[in-house]
Amino acid sequence: MTTSTDTAPLCQLDDIPDGNAIEVEAMVAGELESLLVYRDGGQVSAFYNVCPHAGRRLDYAPGRFLVRNGLIICAAHGATFTAGDGNCQTGPCKGDRLRAVAVSVTNGTVHLA
């Protein structure tokens, strides 16, 4: 897990296994937040590490996420979310979505956008 401020990088692109996610902590709107950062090749998406169903964390152990075939799976209730946009595909919060956090990649470094 990495901790970042508003001006510091979140992580390096190479820190994220392609097709998987890591957790970083970052200051977002003045609050320290746990974020899930997902990588698909050179594209990165980030979300608050919170399932919209019951407000529980998505990881099954600190910083460890269930990601299969481009889907993020909530460890608590099995809801599945498309990793690129956070839309819930199945589970108790179908039709809802993960709260996205805007990020960008510059020279291999992931930053808050």
| Ordered strands of the 109-112 beta sheet | 11-12, 109-112, 103-106
Residue 8: the pLDDT is 75
What domains does the chain contain, in order, with CATH numbers? 2-112 (2.102.10.10)
Q: What pTM value is reported for the model? A: 0.90
Q: Looking at the DSSP assignment, which residues form a beta bridge with residue 66? A: 73
d(C-alpha 79, C-alpha 41), whole Å? 24
Looking at every residue in the chain, the average pLDDT score rounds to 92
In angstroms, the Cα distances linking 50 to 4, 15, 54, 98, 109 are: 18, 21, 8, 7, 24
Closest CA to 101 of 17, 16, 13, 31: 31
Q: What pLDDT, on a 0 to 100 scale, did the predictor assign at position 15?
A: 97
